[in-house]
DNA sequence: GACCAGGCACATC
DNA sequence: GATGTGCATGGT
């Protein structure tokens, strides 16, 4: 079923080229800034950081939190996120001395534990960083994924993050590229359709929705 | 003007 | 462990 969904979405939308970002660090910053925010606004914030020459762990470590907040203003929750970025770069300093390449030497489970201990990094942000910045085969669950899986009738509405993630990872080969593409495709689908309940006829997944026989 | 967007921390029960 | 609330801009 999950493989079927993936193939269908890929055939429909093609490769999504995620995550947009020029470096692992930019991906990490984007993962925090995109929390409950439109990516369009995140792009503006990242552009501001780049223009100011501050898109590096070293620069952000030096910069006052108020100044970071000013630069990331368009992404919303700017005070909260500025503090989160500070916590992220503080961790990077401790974990790898700002040399992100060295993070590869840490086991994925341990890395995830460390990330989750960073202020502002929850399950989705941690897994986005692991998959998209560090190339670890971890499936990312987000609001779109949860909604689509619920509409398909495959999980309950309040299924936990961990359970949803396990569902994907137990039923798919652990592969960075396909995990990357699958998550991006689910977001793409979630953005375009399936915003209303129940799963509408226009949804590309309508005919494989197990629960639509009742309708 | 309401509603939503690629969440999370924190308080409270 | 479940549930509620603050954080905030910008597009539809």
* Mean local confidence (pLDDT), A33-39: 97
- Asked whether residue A155, judged by its CB, lies under 7 Å from any atom of the DNA or RNA strand C, the reply is no
Q: Judge if A145 and A120 occupy the same domain.
A: no
Please identify, among A84, A113, A133, the residue that sits at the C-terminal boundary of a domain.
A133
Is pLDDT larger for residue A194 or for residue A136? A136
Only one residue has tokens 């341990």, namely A110
What's the CA–C1' distance between A52 and C2, in Å? 43
Give strand B nucleotides closer than 7 A to any protein Cβ. Answer: 4-10
Please identify, among A133, A158, A180, the residue that sits at the C-terminal boundary of a domain.
A133
For A84-121, b where at least 16 C-beta lie within 10 A, e where not — what string?
Answer: bbbebbebbeebbeeebeebeeeeeeebbebbeebebb
Smallest Cα–Cα separation from A126: which of A28, A18, A21, A25? A28
Within A 116-135, residues with CB less than 7 Å from strand B? 118-126, 128, 132
- Asked whether residue A18, judged by its CB, lies under 7 Å from any atom of the DNA or RNA strand B, the reply is yes
Predicted structure pTM score: 0.95
Q: Domain range for residue A148?
A: 2-16+140-214
pLDDT at A202: 80
Give strand C nucleotides closer than 7 A to any protein Cβ. Answer: 2-3, 6-11
Q: Judge if A203 and A117 occupy the same domain.
A: no
pLDDT tens figures, A46-83: 999 999 999 999 999 999 999 999 999 999 999 999 99
pLDDT at A205: 87
* Mean local confidence (pLDDT), A31-52: 98
Q: Which residues contact A142 (CB under 8 A, 6 or more apart)?
A: A124, A183, A186, A187
How many independent structural domains does chain A possess? 2
pLDDT at residue A184 tops 80: yes
Please identify, among A133, A157, A179, the residue that sits at the C-terminal boundary of a domain.
A133
What's the CA–C1' distance between A160 and B13, in Å? 21
- Asked whether residue A39, judged by its CB, lies under 7 Å from any atom of the DNA or RNA strand B, the reply is yes
What's the CA–C1' distance between A92 and C7, in Å? 24
What's the CA–C1' distance between A53 and C3, in Å? 42
pLDDT at A214: 45
pLDDT at A213: 54
């Amino acid at each position: 079923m999950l493989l079927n969904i993936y193939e269908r979405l890929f055939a429909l939308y093609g490769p999504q080229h995620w995550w947009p970002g020029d470096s692992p660090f930019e991906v990490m910053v984007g993962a925090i800034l995109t929390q409950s925010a439109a990516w369009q606004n995140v792009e503006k914030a990242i552009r501001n950081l780049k223009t100011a020459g501050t898109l590096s762990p070293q620069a952000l470590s030096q910069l006052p939190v108020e100044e970071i907040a000013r630069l990331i203003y368009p992404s919303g929750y700017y005070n909260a996120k500025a503090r989160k970025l500070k916590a992220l770069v503080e961790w990077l300093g401790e974990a790898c001395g700002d040399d992100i390449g060295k993070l590869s030497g840490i086991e994925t489970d341990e890395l995830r534990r460390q990330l989750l201990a960073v202020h502002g990094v929850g399950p989705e942000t941690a897994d986005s960083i692991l998959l998209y910045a560090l190339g670890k085969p971890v499936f990312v669950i987000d609001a779109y994924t949860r909604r689509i899986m619920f509409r398909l009738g495959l999980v309950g509405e309040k299924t936990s993050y961990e359970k949803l993630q396990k569902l994907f990872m137990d039923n798919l080969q652990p592969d960075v590229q396909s995990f990357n593409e699958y998550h991006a495709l689910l977001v793409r689908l979630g953005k375009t359709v399936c915003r209303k309940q129940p799963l509408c006829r226009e949804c590309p997944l309508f005919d494989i929705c197990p629960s639509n026989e009742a309708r």
